Every structure is written in structure tokens, then in C-alpha cells.
Structure 1
Amino acid sequence: MSRTYTHPDVLTHGVAAGWADSETDPSRIDWAERQARAAIPFRVIDGRPVNPCEKTGIRYGRNELGRWGEQLCADAVVTVTDEHGARWLVMVERADGYGWALPGGCVEVGETPADTAVRELAEETGLDLDEASWEVLPARYVPDPRASDEAWMVTTPALTHLGTIRRDDFLIPLGADDVVRAEWVRADTFPILAAYLEATYGGRVFTAHQDLLADLFDTEH
């Protein structure tokens, strides 16, 4: 069955705050411009965008996302190795109940993905790593539970490794902005990361970041 759904917050708070399109009819969007700057090509049929990577169960509308079509984000992957050789990753607990995620957010006009990763990291964790060396990976589709067949998320992971530091000397992340808290999470492999979150915080990895993190941490380092 085709389901139509756009969360009420998109058309109220989202529009007022500027993170959502005010246009409710996607056929009136300038699709040529959005398709030209898309990180992953997508089709527009009868004036409506089509998710290029999956069917979400919501055929029409934006679900919980603000922009019609692709929404490009960047996520900060910040790691450090402790004195025992264990790898740790900065993660944040989302305030919307979707679990633990990488710090990140939408790429704003004029920003590079690395710029966005640095900005969002500072906003969500208080960590200012503007002077760090960042490696930007290719953009990839993420199966965000807030997406629909007409509004979806693409992210560009930006990686930085802070080297080997004594556990007691780690920079201290402080949850801010729209997150509950920010913490260093053990991340030698993805299964270790997931088990650590569950055992320590009773948490789970945000669905949209599971495959991404599994690809990054699928083997012992």
C-alpha cells in the first residue's frame, strides 16, 4: 500500500526554524537545480522526487525530514587510541529517541562537508577540532528512519584520528544542542561498539549509522 505522511512538525516548527521547505507541492520545486547538486543522482517523475536507493513504506510526503528530495549531511568520525591500544569514538545520544549517532547535520550553503562536520561536532559535543586533519569520504545514502520515498538522507563522513592518548587525558565531550549527552564509546570493531553502548548506557546505534559504522570498523585495527 502507498502511504502518505508528513510529520506536523515539518510544516510548523520546521518551516519556522528554516530546516524545512515551506512548499507543500513538490511539483513546484526547481528540480533541475536540486538534481544538479545532488551527491547521488535521482529521478523526478511527474514533478515528484523518487528515492534512488530504497522504498521506505511512505510513498508520498516527507515523513520527518524537511527538504524534498536529497538532504546532504556530514558526520564527524572522531577517534582516538588509548594507552592500551583500544580505539574510542565520539558519539552522541539523540534527543529524539532514535539512539546513539555520530555528531553531524545538514550541509549549509557555502559549506564543505568538512566544515559541516567541524561545526556540528562543536555544537553537539563542545569539541573544537577546526585545526585537526580531516579525511572526507565519498557521500553515501543512509537508511534514515525519518525518510520517505520523496525525502531522504545522504551523508558525507569526515574522519579525524587524534592519535594515542592516555584514557585519563581524553578531551571531554559535553552534550549540547539537540543531543542528550556525548561520550567516548569503545569502537575496536562494530560489534564491540554496539555491545559497549548496550552494556554501558542501555543504548543502540542509530539505524542510519549502523551500516556506515560497520563498514568503518568491520575489522580489528
Structure 2
Amino acid sequence: MREYTDPIVLTTGVREGWADPETDPTRIVWAARQPALIPFEVVNGRPVNPREKTPIQRGRNQLGGWAENLTADALASALDEFGNRWIVLVERNRGRGWGLPGGFQDPGETSVVAACRELREEASLDLRNKTWRSMPPRYVPSKRSSDEAWIVTVPCTVDLGILNRHDFPRLIARDDAIKAAWVRANTLHELTAYLKDVHGGEVTSENHVGMLTDWFAAA
């Protein structure tokens, strides 16, 4: 049985407040942490990953919290004067490809607040005065997870309505994003083709492809 928690979690993570200081999950009062966005079992005081078995059976691997670690993703869209749908995507550093702005929720944040913040931090787009909506939570497969710590994200959507194309808000990549762009996206196929033809990129995260697929299906 492999047990592992990254030393950064136990040092920097605890010091900065994004990691659970408790090193033994059997000492956690799990009833106080329920209900979860995606239900999971607790067996002999230890949380059980509700979706998969990982190479790490004990410990948190690279994640800060036991059980659910919550993230949020921002799906911001607008229609141009010709009726074409556009959405905001960012290209992340270290060759991680294109995807929706998003990241871990800070303590006390709602999913919508976190998604709105990530959109500002990664694409310089401030939509705090707009109406946001949450989609159902999704389990996120990740190499950072373990059998006792995993990621759950909540996609959050915001629609800017109809704008002239030259009036679309300017995007500036920041934080861990190296590019931010409005991508034409009447369909997932068009999004994929536009991203490749115009930016030479692709959406590499299966989770983001799944979120976009669900969003297009509901639109």
C-alpha cells in the first residue's frame, strides 16, 4: 500500500492556509464536512474516493484537503452582431494547453465567487456585476489526487449578451495563463477548429471538453 503526501502540503500549504493541518483523517469529524458536492463514503474514519482508484492509497498526494478539494471554472460567453457565439479560453503555461479560466476555491468562497475571481486573475475580465449561474459539480480526474483526496469542480457560466465584435472586452493573460482569447464557439467542433486554425492550440483537458460538451448540449 503506497502512502504519500507532498511535503509542500504539510509545510507551505498549512502555513498559507490552503492545506488541512490534520495529518490523520481518522481524527476528523466527518459528519461536520457533509454533505459533499459528490457523495463519498468514510470507512474506518478514512474518506474513500467516489470515482476511481489511484496509485496513492493513503495520504493526500499533492492536494491540500482530505476528501473533496473544490475548484471552480468560468465559462464566459457573448454573441456578436451576426449571431455567432464566443467564449473566453486561456492557454496555460508549461505546455498544459487551452481551457476555461479556473482554479481552487479559497476558504469561504462560493463557486461563483471563485470562478469570477479566476476569470479576473487569468484573463483580466471583471464580471462581478453580471449574473452568474452554476452547473452541476463534476469529478476531476487528476494526477494530484489519491484514494483519500480528490478534486471536484463547479462550472459557472456568465453571458454578456449581444455585443458588436469590436466592443468585446479586452482580455489580458495573467497568473498562470500565457494567452487569453475570445474563441468562436457556435459548436464544439467549431471551437476546436477555430482554436487550432487561429491560435495553433487545443483543449487538452478531458474534463474541460466534458464541461464544454455539457454546456453546448444545454444551450
Cross-structure match for 1:68: 66
Cross-structure match for 1:29: 28
Report SS of the residue matched to 2:89. strand
Q: Which amino acid aligns with 1:121?
A: L
Cα distance in 1 for residues equivalent to 2:99 and 2:62:
17
> In terms of mean alpha carbon deviation, does 191-200 or 41-50 score higher?
191-200
Cα distance in 2 for residues equivalent to 1:183 and 1:127:
11
Cross-structure match for 2:44: 46
Identity among equivalent positions (%) equals: 52
8 A contact 2:75–2:87 mirrored in 1: yes
Cross-structure match for 2:181: 183
Please say if 1:143 is aligned against 2:137.
no
Structure 1's 50 and 129: CA in aligned 2 closer, same or farther, altered over 3 A?
A: same
CA shift at 1:43, angstroms? 0.9
CA shift at 1:8, angstroms? 4.2
Cα distance in 1 for residues equivalent to 2:52 and 2:119:
29
Cα distance in 1 for residues equivalent to 2:115 and 2:99:
13
Structure 1's 45 and 206: CA in aligned 2 closer, same or farther, altered over 3 A?
A: same
Q: 4+ runs of 1 displaced by more than 4 Å?
A: none
Cross-structure match for 2:172: 174
CA shift at 1:77, angstroms? 0.9
Normalised by the length of structure 1, the TM-score is 0.84
CA shift at 1:3, angstroms? 4.4
Cross-structure match for 1:129: 127
Aligned length: 218
8 A contact 2:203–2:209 mirrored in 1: no
Cα distance in 1 for residues equivalent to 2:43 and 2:4:
19
Report SS of the residue matched to 1:111. coil
8 A contact 2:187–2:216 mirrored in 1: yes
Q: Which amino acid aligns with 1:183?
A: A
